[in-house]
Amino acid sequence: MFFFAELAVSFLLVVTSINAATTPCVNGVDGTPAGQFAGWTCAGLAGLLLGPGQGYCTMADLSVACCVCVDSNTTPTTTPATLHPTAQTTTQPVTLHPTNPATNPATPTNAATSNPTPNPTANPTAQVTPNPTASPVASVTANPTAAVTPNPTPSPTAAVTSNPTAQVTPNPTPSPTPSPTAQVTPNPTSSPTNAGTSSPPPSGATDSWNVCYFTNWARYRNGEPNTGKDVFEMDFPADLCTHFMYGFATVTQDFDVKSNDPNADHPSGHTAQDELCDPRCNDPNFTVDWSDPNGLRCDWPCNPTRKMRGYEAMNVGMKQKNPNIKSLISVGGWNFNDCAASPSDTVGQGYATCEIFSTIASSEANIRLFAKNVIAFTRKWGFDGFDLDWEYPVVAGHNSAQMYELDGSPAAYNINRLRAGELVFHEVPADRVNYINMLRIMKEEFYNENPTNPLLLTAAVGVGKSTVETAYDIPEMSKYLDQINLMTYDMHGGWESRTGCNANLYATAEDVEYGGGVGAGEAVAGYPLSVSWAVDYWLDHGAKPEQLTMGLGTYGRGWKLQSMADTGYNAPVLGVSTPGPSSGEAGYLAYYEIAAKLFEGSATRHYDYDRECPYIVTDDGEWIGYDDEQSYLAKMNFLKSRNLRGTMVWALDLDDFTGHLHGGASNRYPLIQFARDELKDYSPSQTSSVRRLQGN
């Protein structure tokens, strides 16, 4: 999927039979005999990223023009490529089909152990709970995280700039205030090309991606419909997701990667079983050969009748159902990078871990050590790739825990003075370049470890304007990532003093006037913060549509209304909504908790057609903005108009995973199933082939 804009010529799509093992590339990526990678074999180049922001060089690409890798005895044939039409946005009413009411009598789970999605608070007094969802907004408290990312790997160029890490001390520093931009309108931009890194699932989908985040702490939630198991133990469907992100493993101070909860991750929850079980123990009909004193026994925790959980459920069980599935281990998340959070409130994270990514990225030696540890971990457990959820490079309070007085002099870590505005964190500017070096070197190490089947490298990225401007060099990121997952949710939440949807597709002039939103902890006015704006911003600043997935939330965010006389969008509020009986976090509800309120008749659903998002107003005066099938349809049509690669869902365990509010077991995961169905007849690479070869 290369764009040859610099050649300013148009190519026809050429499909050629080539000898992948021995045929040398006549020319390099710039079309000259001395160009980069000239002389390499097709096998060596296949799957390797070659040009600036150009994506993977597939075997088909190589035979076209990528490096003129055509055997002299081969006669190329040409096949015209066709454009994939974009869909028109329509809306349709959504109805729940409940069978039995959800009682949800249980008590909320402790945030520190259940790791629900965090949200920033406008009044920073309480500590934040960790969870990957979108980019943050508040001041010192945490906000959501989640997601994934981009493309190929060129050979190493710049050396890593050493970046000293400061000692621990937190306080939020404001991020740059963005200048006003025009309101977003959904005009298609460029089209995507096929990354060619994974096979389509057997569900009828083409090369679109539906990336799904799994959270290992969800098994500890109480209340209907939770059962003390993870979604894989509850027989997760084989064709809902093309890619799984396993959230989260932890990164140690010596840059190793380890399980953060062996009970959730390891076979049968046994800490000592620090690897996958012998494949023979996965056969329920396994019989011990007692005549062999040294023979395999398949005792617990690898007994053949065990119910697979965690790592082996994803990497063995799900791949038995669907061999085309790709799985990635994800590290990071909001709490991992939040220097203002206490380790005691974030399961050992917060200021204890917030400097780790910045430290790793500060030297080539650290990066290569980390990459080798990642490779060892992923290969041991059967993952196909690595998802880096660094939230966020450069941004103050997320990379150095050193606090400073307002005059710039270093100060001892003091969270109370930080919250009082007497201390601040500083940015770590070197992270911007170091992050790119980290991606480049990791991609190189992945390729060197297995050139024919290198690990995938993805990233979850924030979408607030100040976050993106501060943290990311988008064109450079696009060179090395296989996929970029946009965290297009947590647009609004309890850190604001007015109502707003969690992930509004569009913004209005009123929203722009109010300002606020996800922006590296700072409320920013003057731009139309919305899903459409975020997607277009990334595309306009150098991201390739084939590299992007659009984040979809299966949860909502809410408030207590100031008055039942004013219950609309941007209505004034008194504070965050009551914690859900299962999710257990104030201002945050799983989709199944929202659906239960509608089923019970304790809430009324409204739909904002200007912003394309639903919200409910409860009988006791709470307002929750969320997503359902109607808003998903609008988003999927927008996604297709931009030719994005697909979707990324946060998270599996927040949808109605039993279907008990949508007609029963045959309607499990209604939101994720809806998104997947919308992708089944969508082929982003159909347009990309033409546009790539035309230099667009």
Q: Are 464 and 557 in contact (CB under 8 A)?
A: no
The continuous run of DSSP H or E covering 14 comes out as: strand 14-15
- Cα-to-chain-centroid distance, residue 297: 40
Helices (H) and strands (E) in the chain, counts: 18, 20
Average pLDDT rounded to a whole number, residues 317-328: 97
Lowest mean pLDDT among 184-193, 281-290, 575-584, 685-694: 184-193
What DSSP state is assigned to residue 282?
G
Which of 167-181, 565-579, 583-597, 642-656 is predicted least confidently?
167-181
Task: Provide the pLDDT for residue 517.
Answer: 62
CA distance 477 to 539: 13
Cis bond before residue 626 (omega within 30° of 0): no
| Cβ(113)–Cβ(335) below 8 Å | no
Shortest CA distance to 332 belongs to which of 477, 208, 485? 485
Report CA-CA distances (Å) from 336 to 129, 342, 349, 683: 10, 11, 5, 36
| Residue 319 DSSP symbol | H
Q: Is the peptide bond before 651 cis (omega within 30 degrees of 0)?
A: yes
pLDDT (average), residues 415-434 = 97
> What whole-number distance in Å separates Cα of residue 402 and Cα of residue 354?
11
Q: Is 0.85 topped by the overall pTM?
A: no
**Which is more confident, 519 or 496?**
496
- Report the percent of the chain where pLDDT is more than 70: 67
Q: What does 536-593 look like in DSSP terms, one character per residue?
A: HHHHHTT--GGGEEEEEESEEEEEEES-TT--STT-BEEEEPPPPTTT-BTTEEEHHH
Tokens of residue 82, six digits: 């066709």
Q: Taking a C-beta distance cutoff of 8 angstroms, is the pair 441, 364 a contact?
A: yes
pLDDT in the model for residue 254? 98
Q: Give residue 527's pLDDT.
A: 85
398 CB-near residues (< 8 Å, 6+ apart): 337, 338, 339, 354, 391, 392
- Percentage of the chain modeled with pLDDT above 90: 65
Q: Name the helix (H) or strand (E) containing 678.
A: helix 670-679
pLDDT band at 681 (very low <50, low <70, confident <90, very high): confident
- Tokens for 30, please give them: 């710039």
The residues near 92 (Cβ < 8 Å, ≥ 6 apart) are 629, 630, 633
pLDDT at 42: 54
The CB-side HSE value for 518 (13 A sphere, CA atoms) comes to 36
**Strand 603-608 relative to strand 588-590: parallel, antiparallel, unpaired?**
unpaired
> How many CA atoms lie less than 13 Å away from 505 in the CB half-sphere?
24
In the predicted model, what is the mean pLDDT of residues 203-215? 80
> So what's the pLDDT on residue 170?
36
Does the pLDDT value for residue 209 go beyond 60? yes
C-alpha dist (Å) from residue 283 to 230, 317, 391, 437: 21, 11, 41, 44
Residue 243 CA to residue 231 CA, distance in Å, equals: 15
Cα distance between residue 600 and residue 224, in whole Å:
14
Q: How confident is the model at residue 361, as a pLDDT?
A: 98
Question: What is the per-residue pLDDT for 28?
Answer: 55
Count CB neighbours of 434 within 10 A: 28
Mean predicted lDDT score pLDDT of the chain: 78
pLDDT of residue 175: 35
At 682, the amino acid letter reads Y
Answer for the pair 201, 209: CB distance below 8 angstroms, yes or no: no
C-alpha distances out from residue 22 to 15, 76, 324, Å: 18, 18, 28
pLDDT score of 34: 53
CA distance 64 to 16: 7
pLDDT, tens only, 434-471: 999 999 999 999 999 999 999 999 999 999 888 999 99
Q: Is the pLDDT reported for residue 481 higher than 70?
A: yes
How far apart CA 609 and CA 598 sit, in angstroms, is 20
Which is nearest to 43 in space by CA: 26, 23, 20?
20
Of 334, 45, 240, 155, give the one whose Cα is nearest residue 672: 240
Q: What's the mean pLDDT in 246-265?
A: 98
- Residues 486, 602: Cα–Cα separation, whole Å: 34
CA 631 to centroid of chain Cα atoms? 20
Task: Output the pLDDT for position 513.
Answer: 85
Residue 191's contacts (CB-CB under 8 Å, 6 or more residues apart) are: 83, 84, 545, 546, 643, 684, 687, 688, 690, 691
Could you report the per-residue pLDDT of 552-573, keeping only the tens digit for each?
999 999 999 999 999 999 999 9
Residue 272 has what pLDDT?
97
Angle subtended by helix axes 364-381 and 431-449, to nearest 10: 50
Measured between alpha carbons, how far is 552 from 563 in angstroms, rounded to an integer? 30
Instruction: Identify the pLDDT of residue 102.
Output: 32
Is the confidence at residue 53, as pLDDT, over 90?
A: no
- The span from the CA of 194 to the CA of 205, in Å, is 13
pLDDT at residue 430, as a whole number:
98
- Indicate if the pLDDT at residue 61 is higher than 50: no
Q: Is the pLDDT of residue 158 over 60?
A: no
DSSP of 156-209: --SPPPP-PPPPS-----PPPPPPP-PPP-------------SPPPTTS--S-E
Q: Say how far apart CA 257 and CA 383 lie, in whole Å.
A: 13
What are the chain's domains? 1-80 (no CATH), 111-260+308-687 (3.20.20.80)
Residue in the block written with tokens 């509004």: 504
Record the tokens describing residue 353, joined without a space.
């871990």
Q: Which DSSP string corresponds to 420-480?
A: TTSEEE---TTHHHHHHHHHHHHHHHHHHH-TTSPPEEEEEE---HHHHHHH--HHHHHHH
